[in-house]
A and B are shown apart, each in its own frame.
Chain A
Amino acid sequence: MASDFGLSSEYTGDCLILSTTGYINSDGGDQILAKIQEALARDINRVVINLMDSKVINSIGISFLIESIELLMNAGGRMVFANLDPSVEKALQIMGLFHFAGKASSVEDAHADLN
């Protein structure tokens, strides 16, 4: 399948920061989930997802994010979204993700929120 999704990750202390680019669909969601599972295996349960360069998300991508949030919550952790495009923010809002995850206007704010 064609995909323009890109994912980069870095660990800052005990926090994983994921930055995405492009369409968050099944492929993108799966990659995010895999990164979070890797982090949990390293006992890292706090994650910032920087969505600055992702302007589109579909429901399958969102389902992977929900699963990621559940995994983190089951491990006593938390996820915070940063730099949300208004349309993506609205999609996550409607799908109820902000009942279980935070949002912040920057990665720094998200990191501060987790700490």
Chain B
Amino acid sequence: MAWPKRHDFSPPLRQDRHQFSQVETGMSHFTKIDQLFVHRKAFQAGFDSLIHAGTLPALAERFASLLRRHLRFACVDIWFKAAEDLPWVTLSVDSESCFDKEDPFRDCTMESSAALRAPCRELSFSFAVEEETCFGIIARRDTADESLDQGDILALQMFLQTLSNAYQVFITRQQEKEATFSLNTRRLQINSLVDAGVDLFAARDENTLLALALQQAAALTSAASGRLTVSRDGQVFKTYHFPESGPPTENPPSPNQLKSDFEFLGDTFTFLLFDKESRNGTATFDETDQVLLTGQSRQVKVTMENRYLYRQSMEQERLRQELAVAASIQRALMPTTFPRISGYEIDGFSRPCKEVGGDFFHCIPMENGRQALVTGDVSGKGIPAALLVSTLHAALHAYLDSQLSLAEIGRKINSFIYESSTENKYITCFIGILTSATGELEVLNAGHESALLRRPDGSIDEIRSSGLPLGIFEDNPDLQPERLRLVAGDTLLVFTDGLPDAQNESGETYGLPRVLEQLRAPATAGELVRRIHKDVQRFTGHAPLTDDLTLLAAICTQPCPAATGDYYSI
């Protein structure tokens, strides 16, 4: 059956009195109009009361009260039907009356002449306020009371119009509230998505982050529950549930699901949400929910990436600090000042190409006025090389203090380095023990760059290697010291391969000729070292150092008394 259209019983205006009075009612015009004017204030007051009802039952209750008060009904029962195919719902019931048949208002609409025919004591009719929305009203007077006349019926019609108008206001307010709620829900969802990144980033660990992400995803989409799995090569190795009790069953799986996944560092993270909630029970996840979950899933991925990069950056910073400490320790292993030795000038420097280097130099005082002039170059660079430099430093101090010969010292240090280092690690090393009083210089060159000795006449001799670098083999039998004697004007220059191998931006190497050129020009030890350093810097320009660079210079400035013994002639 089709429900009737909504009635329009507009209140009569004063100028319409005559027209309104033409309605065939069987009463005098004066009486009908006067009765309506008696109720006029009641209509307005009733409307004011009705539109302030917060709920539909409250609206019905207030309307029933109006009818009882102004039309002297003893009982007013009101039902409501939201749509044609829905059942009647009780809103306000005075009496014990109830439906004893399927639809008591069938064929008893406002249009049916039988519904509102005066005189009568009881009315039963349905009243459409929307296309398919009806109120059902049963109202009756006590048997002792008089029957409803046409004036009462007219007044009732006016009250029904008031109800209809109030219902429209009620519905409009409901729609406004729903629209506001919907708008606020969208604001909440956008805010939640924006805040998610911040909250997730602050999570103390990945477990907390993922549990929080799942919780946020469920709340964002109004899902009843959810699951987040982490898998690699199709094998799930971690599962998170929200709530922690998890979905009640997976067999059969709920058809009302929402899914989104992403990959990070080879793992697949899959969000699965179950059972979207609504005020009517459950709803189906829609496109907006999919967009929200995808957005949340991206937030999680970005947060995990950021946390990963942040950790990497923190780790790099920690390593940088550790390297700075290591560099500081390594600098402490090498001299910043040199001993004042009568008749000699000694100077040197070392510049690592990275934070820490594999080069080493020192001038170590020994017993009987002797000095050990040492330069070393560990294979490789960075921390491993620096560690071996420390080992060499310790070994030198330990064995140079002994009464062992230089040859024995060389063998001992070779064994020590061999045992202390890993495979493929070795040290080229120059050790020169200078007896300052006599100018005697006993040298041991273990695979190191040839040292240069400029004689007073300008000639330059090379002090070549006599054995393999330290630590390659357990024994280093070819390692034999050589003895020579410094005289006034001799300049000894010892350096690592970083000097001749220094490259400029064109890839050209500094080369031995440039070293020799610098060595030939007269200078003090300090001047020579600084001049070579400056010339290398000028040569390399903006090209970075590719190897550590170390120099040690010793100049004999005054004649030494004649010494006894055999001296090697280079």
Give me the interface of A with B, judged by CB distance under 8 Å.
Answer: 1-4, 22-23, 25-27, 55-60, 63-64, 66, 70-71, 73-74, 87, 90-91, 94-96
**A59 partner, pick from B55, B199, B222, beta carbons under 8 A:** B222
B54 adjacent to A74 (CB under 8 Å): yes
Task: Tell me the minimal C-beta distance from B224 to chain A in angstroms.
Answer: 4
Q: Does B188 contact A (CB under 8 A)?
A: yes
Q: How far is the CA of A74 from the CA of B244 in the complex (A)?
A: 37
Closest B-chain residue to A66, C-beta based?
B181
Contact of B279 among A22, A26, A27, A87 (CB under 8 A): A26
Within 95-124 of B, Cβ neighbours of A (below 8 Å) are at: none
Name the contact of A96 in the complex, choosing from B55, B180, B219 (C-beta under 8 A). Answer: B180
Residues of B with C-beta under 8 A to A70: 54-55
Known A-B contacts A2-B225, A26-B277, A66-B181; the reply to A94 vs B187 at CB < 8 A is: yes
**Is there contact, CB below 8 Å, between B243 and A4?**
yes
If A25-B222, A70-B54, A94-B187 touch, does A60 touch B278 (CB 8 Å cutoff)?
Answer: yes
Residue-wise, chain B 164-198 has the 8 Å CB interface mask toward A (1 for contact) of 00000000000000001100110110011001000
A94 pairs with B188, CB closer than 8 A: yes
3 closest residue pairs by CB, A with B: A4-B243, A26-B277, A1-B224
User: Does any Cβ of A come within 8 Å of B487's Cβ?
Assistant: no
Knowing A23-B243, A25-B277, A66-B181, the reply to whether A59 touches B224 (Cβ < 8 A) is no
Cα distance A70–B180 in the bound complex, in angstroms:
15
In the bound complex, CA of A91 to CA of B58 (Å): 30
**Chain B positions within 8 Å of A64 at CB level:** 279
Give me 10 other A-B pairs in contact (C-beta within 8 A), A25-B222, A60-B278 excluded: A1-B274, A1-B275, A3-B243, A23-B243, A26-B224, A27-B224, A56-B218, A57-B219, A59-B181, A74-B54
Pull 18 A–B residue pairs with CB atoms less than 8 Å apart, ordered by A.
A1-B248, A2-B224, A2-B246, A2-B274, A4-B244, A23-B242, A26-B277, A55-B215, A56-B215, A56-B218, A59-B222, A64-B279, A74-B54, A74-B55, A90-B191, A94-B184, A94-B187, A95-B181
- Report the minimum CB–CB distance from A65 to chain B (whole Å): 11
Bound-state CA distance A94–B181 (Å) is 10
Kindly state the separation between the CA atoms of A33 and B241 in the bound complex, as whole angstroms.
27
With CB as the reference atom, state the residue of chain A lying closest to B275: A1
CB distance from B429 to the nearest CB of A (A): 65
Q: How far is the CB of A95 from chain B (nearest CB, A)?
A: 5
CB distance from A60 to the nearest CB of B (A): 5
CA A22 to CA B188, docked complex, whole Å: 20
A58 near B218: Cβ-Cβ < 8 Å: yes
> Any chain A CB within 8 A of the CB of B343?
no
- A3 and B248 CA atoms in complex are apart in Å by 9
- Are B224 and A3 neighbours in the complex by a CB distance under 8 Å? yes
**Which B residues are CB-close (under 8 A) to A91?**
188, 192
State whether B246 touches A96 (Cβ < 8 A).
no
Roughly how many angstroms separate A21 CA and B188 CA in the complex, as a whole number? 22
Question: In angstroms, how far is the closest chain B Cβ from the Cβ of A40?
Answer: 12
Give the complex CA separation of A94 and B193 in angstroms.
14
A16 to chain B, nearest CB (A): 20
Cross-chain contact of B278 among A26, A56, A66, A95 (Cβ < 8 A)? A26
Knowing A26-B224, A70-B54, A87-B199, say if A2 contacts B277 (CB, 8 Å): no
Contact in complex: B277, A60 (CB < 8 Å): yes
CA distance A14 to B225 in the complex (A): 36
| Contact between B58 and A59, CB atoms less than 8 A apart | no
Known: A1-B275, A23-B243, A90-B191. Contact between A58 and B222, CB under 8 A? yes
The residues of A that contact B241 with a CB separation of less than 8 Å are 2
Interface residues on B, range: 35 or more
Whether A74 lies near B58 (C-beta < 8 A) is yes
| A26 proximity list for chain B (CB < 8 A) | 222, 224, 277-279, 281
Judge whether B564 is part of the interface by a CB distance below 8 angstroms: no
Residue with the greatest number of chain B CB neighbours at <10 A, chosen from A2, A4, A23, A87: A2
Is B467 interfacial (CB 8 A cutoff)?
no
Query: What A residues does B224 contact at CB under 8 A?
Result: 1-3, 25-27
Chain B residues numbered 211-263 whose CB sits less than 8 Å from any CB in chain A? 215-216, 218-220, 222-225, 241-248
User: Per a CB cutoff under 8 Å, which of B58, B180, B181, B219 touches A56?
Assistant: B219
CB-defined contacts of A55 to chain B, threshold 8 Å: 215
Known: A90-B195, A94-B188. A63 touches B244 (CB 8 A): no
Q: Shortest Cβ distance from A63 into chain B, in angstroms? A: 6
A94 CB → nearest B CB, Å? 5
- Identify which of B58, B180, B225, B244 gathers the most chain A CB atoms within 10 Å of its CB: B225
Q: Which residues of B contact A27 (CB under 8 A)?
A: 224
CB distance from B362 to the nearest CB of A (A): 61
- Cβ of A74: which chain B residues have Cβ within 8 Å of it? 54-55, 58
B396 → chain A closest CB, angstroms: 63
Within 8 A of A (CB), among B507-527: none
Inter-chain CA distance A91–B199, complex, in Å, is: 14
